Amino acid sequence: MEKFFAYQKDSRVPCKYGRKCFQTNKEHTDKYKHPPTKDDIEEDNKKTTRKRDSKGKVKSSNKTDGESSNSNHMNNPDEESFNSGEINDMEVPERPEQTISTSSSEPNSIPSTSNQQNSTEYTVPSMRHHSQQQQQLLFTNSTLEDCSIDDGIVPSTPTLFTPRRLDGETVSSPHVPSSNQIQRFTFVGESQPSQIPDLNDREQPDPPVQNVTDSDYLKTKISELFLVEEMPKEFYDLWSFCKRQSPSHPEDALLSVGLKLVGPYDVLAGHMNGFNANDVEKTVLHWRYYYDPPEFQTILASTGSEFHIGYFRDVPLGSPVFVVSNDSSENCVIKKLGKSLFKALRKHLHSMDSKEANTLQKKLLAYEIRKVTEVLEGRKCHPVTKTFHKAGIVVPYDSRTDIGYRPLSESEYCLQQILKSYLEASESKKMEAMDKLQPIINYANIASDECDFGTAFELGIDFFCNGNPDLHRICRQLLVTAYNLLRRPQFATIIKAHLNNRRKGPNMSIL
């Protein structure tokens, strides 16, 4: 029993896997203690037996190989359980202290042989009483976390103990719960009754999940619905200005000058709460006019015409490069208004030359001086060509190797004339006009195969700006291929949705 005594006196933490533990690294053995194995128990039982002397007192002596132990098993039933090998991993038997109690009051009286078994009792010393309190292992949060550092692998073999909760319910899995689901368990033997739960062992509620702020939610919502990067700071500055002018409906604060905050501003106003990322094919068309390419995002719309102001991006996951405007009732030309939304809006109000416009212009200037601190950075590289909408396109281009873009096989003027003749041609003569367009299309496809992606991009934008519905199929093929090769799949999604539902008119809202 010496190994059991050494195990009890060991100050290390008992290993939660008991004899089933297979870890032998020094860090684990230095931190956790393990109960003796069954072989150790059988070896100790062969060395030690209990016998009685001539006075009836119990004494220990070494067994001989040929000596039988049946009489000892009859007198010491606890020892039989040791030899049978049915010992729990979590419980370690203690050394019994033997005292002899008799019915006689005389201390020196010798009990009779017939009453010897009933009169003899094995009591537990104070150390045994203390170890019984430690047999029910309470795994607190700190204990489980410490064990999870070294014992990251749970053995697949079943343990000799059935884990139970303090309320008596059996735990279905022997695995240790995760740190965010840790509860206090009492592990007891199957033959032992569950203990009364302690008041301090009540189940603790999970910590509340930290909610994101409204601004973070709205920014994410805009990115999901419109497939663009986060809006610039001045975008939210204009919303704050309009909230001062019209706290209940900031989107209508500019109605006096014939303008309305639209597009992503409808997300801030709460008008698009019913849409989610699955409705992208609809939301990307929200206030998208007939000649708006995927790079154009409308944020201000006229209430009486098709004039609108928005941001222009060269890449979907990049910041806008400048503020632009367009009137789709006139043409496809995109006009640059500068790098500041406030300055562009004040410039537009100045051109109106009305009392309301002048008053609002002064308020915008005062607010801009006090609050607006950031403007757009602009383009970091020059466009490779202007295209029909005059805003230009930007693609990766290596001037040393001349890879990334090559001009079209026809000039801009000749291409416009061919497209015009195709639009005005009768059904019988459309094939002749298409015969002139087909070599230009083939040349752009060959350029894409040779890594000059900007060529097909330019031709697709020119077809889009031409506005002929008969060219939508070719336009879709050119632009979707170019956007995917340029790693701008968001723009590919936008152009496909737009060409499938291309509308004309002043009201481009989907609400």
Q: Is there a contact between 293 and 314 (Cβ–Cβ < 8 Å)?
A: no
Name, in order, each residue with C-beta under 8 angstroms of 291's C-beta and a sequence gap of 6 or more. Answer: 326, 328, 331, 332, 389, 464, 465, 467
Choose among 450, 462, 465, 464: nearest CA to 406: 450
Please indicate whether residue 42 is annotated as part of the active site.
no
Residue 163 token pair: 């884990």
- Backbone φ, ψ for residue 31 (5° rounding): -100, -30
Choose among 438, 435, 433, 457: nearest CA to 447: 457
Residue 462 token pair: 């020119």
Helix/strand/coil percent split, the chain, to 5: 45, 10, 45
State the catalytic residue, choosing from 203, 374, 424, 450.
450
- Could you tell me which residues are beta bridge partners of residue 308? 301, 326
Collapsing DSSP to helix, strand or coil, 97 comes out as strand
Choose among 258, 213, 280: nearest CA to 352: 258
Q: How far apart are CA 322 and CA 312, in angstroms?
A: 6
Q: How far apart are CA 151 and CA 29, in angstroms?
A: 11
Q: Is there a contact between 511 and 263 (Cβ–Cβ < 8 Å)?
A: no
The catalytic residues are: 450
